[in-house]
Amino acid sequence: MPTRTTPTVRQQRLGAELRKMRLAAGATTEYAAGLLGIDRTRISNMEGGVRAVSPDRVRTLACNYACPDESYVEALVAMAENRERGWWERYRGTLAAGMLDIAELEWHAVRISTTQTVHVPGLFQTEDYARAVFTAVLPPPKRLEVELRVAHRMERQQIFERPEPPAYVGYIHEAALRMRFGGVDAMRRQLKRLCHASERDGIDVRVLPVDVGTFPGAGHALLYAEGVVPQLDTVQLDSAHGPEFTHAEAQLAKYRAHLEWMDHASLSASASRDFIRNIERSL
């Protein structure tokens, strides 16, 4: 199989899991290469996500590494089998790769949890609101880039139209509900859209009022995507230079604690909906 010049975060993740499995077994790259009858450099490329790995080779490695978790192994096999081009690939070369990685992460998640302190969650943004968010950047982006970003963000929302959409819970700080991106009319439409989305089955929108005071993770937005098995959970954080992804267990545990804190401190789903409606009516 040919090498990739720019592997996606998901492709890198499959390779990282194979490396983790090998190290847990105390095996060397030479041993793994011998199992598959290939050069050890190709093992390094597989573990780096630079070279694709077949489902059969995933099973061969897992068997010889004596991995006892069948569900985990089958999840890795499924990752190796799935090579279909997702809708986000239409934007490759025109949008930053990190934006496509977020879309792919959401598409394969079984449950999504987010925290937002400045913006309404992207999965529920209106076009006008998203356009205002993408325009408020320095240096000012070109109009075509803004429109491509808006189109991509709108397409991300199709995950909720799938036969089996992921469960979703979004914790939104009150400040994000009062930031008037796009002006009063655009914000009013945005809040109505958010309320409508919160009424759908499987979507839970929770508000953290300013009265709560300080809270963990105040400096960034968080996306926690649960995989088909817990070992494949991933966290994505926003930063000034683009999205950052992590799946280190210590980091996952920290952000699970953040979400648990938010769950206890936020208003209930129904109280949050009333809270959002009251803000919308006051505009």
Position 4 scores a pLDDT of 66
Pull the structure tokens for residue 14. Answer: 């499959």
The verdict on 105 and 238 lying in the same domain is yes
Percentage of the chain with pLDDT > 70?
99
Question: Is the residue at 101 inside a domain?
Answer: yes
With tokens 């300080």, the residue in question is 214
The verdict on 168 and 126 lying in the same domain is yes
Position 176 scores a pLDDT of 96
Question: Is the residue at 46 inside a domain?
Answer: yes
Question: Is the residue at 4 inside a domain?
Answer: no
Tell me the per-residue pLDDT of 198-227, one tens digit each, with 9 for 90 and over: 999 999 999 999 999 988 887 789 999 999
Tell me the per-residue pLDDT of 96-123, one tens digit each, with 9 for 90 and over: 999 999 999 999 999 999 999 999 999 9
Tell me the per-residue pLDDT of 70-93, one tens digit each, with 9 for 90 and over: 999 999 999 999 888 899 999 999
Question: Is the residue at 142 inside a domain?
Answer: yes
Question: Is the residue at 3 inside a domain?
Answer: no
The verdict on 145 and 66 lying in the same domain is no
Tell me the per-residue pLDDT of 121-157, one tens digit each, with 9 for 90 and over: 999 999 999 999 999 988 999 999 999 999 999 999 9
Specify which residues 244 forms β-bridges with: 237
Does the N-terminal peptide bond of residue 243 adopt cis geometry, omega within 30 degrees of 0?
Answer: no
Rounded CA gap, 65 and 25, in Å?
5
Q: Which of 29, 47, 81 is the last residue of a domain?
A: 81
The verdict on 240 and 123 lying in the same domain is yes
The verdict on 158 and 174 lying in the same domain is yes
Position 216 scores a pLDDT of 84
Question: Is the residue at 128 inside a domain?
Answer: yes
> Domain of 243: which CATH number?
3.30.870
Q: Which of 81, 110, 140 is the last residue of a domain?
A: 81
Position 6 scores a pLDDT of 84
Instruction: Indicate the helix (H) or strand (E) that contains 116.
Output: strand 111-116
Position 217 scores a pLDDT of 80
The confidence band for 3, taking pLDDT boundaries of 50, 70 and 90, is low
**Pick the residue with more confidence: 280 or 137?**
280
Tell me the per-residue pLDDT of 157-195, one tens digit each, with 9 for 90 and over: 999 999 999 999 999 999 999 999 999 999 999 999 999
Tell me the residue range of the domain where 235 lies: 88-282
> What single-letter DSSP state applies at residue 219?
T
**Is the pLDDT assigned to residue 2 strictly greater than 80?**
no
The verdict on 155 and 70 lying in the same domain is no
**Is the pLDDT assigned to residue 1 strictly greater than 60?**
no
Position 84 scores a pLDDT of 82
**From the CA atom positions of the chain, what is the Rg in Å?**
21
Q: How many CB atoms lie within 10 A of CB 198?
A: 20
What does the buried/exposed string (b/e) look like for 26-54 if buried means 16 or more CB atoms within 10 Å of the residue's CB? ebebebbbebbeeeeebbbbbbbbbbbbe
Domain count within the chain: 2
The verdict on 187 and 123 lying in the same domain is yes
Nearest one of 67, 71, 73, 23 to 47, comparing CA atoms: 23
Nearest one of 255, 74, 75, 278 to 194, comparing CA atoms: 278
Q: Which of 59, 81, 103 is the last residue of a domain?
A: 81
Question: Is the residue at 250 inside a domain?
Answer: yes
The verdict on 62 and 160 lying in the same domain is no
The verdict on 140 and 252 lying in the same domain is yes
Question: Is the residue at 129 inside a domain?
Answer: yes
> Domain of 31: which CATH number?
1.10.260.40
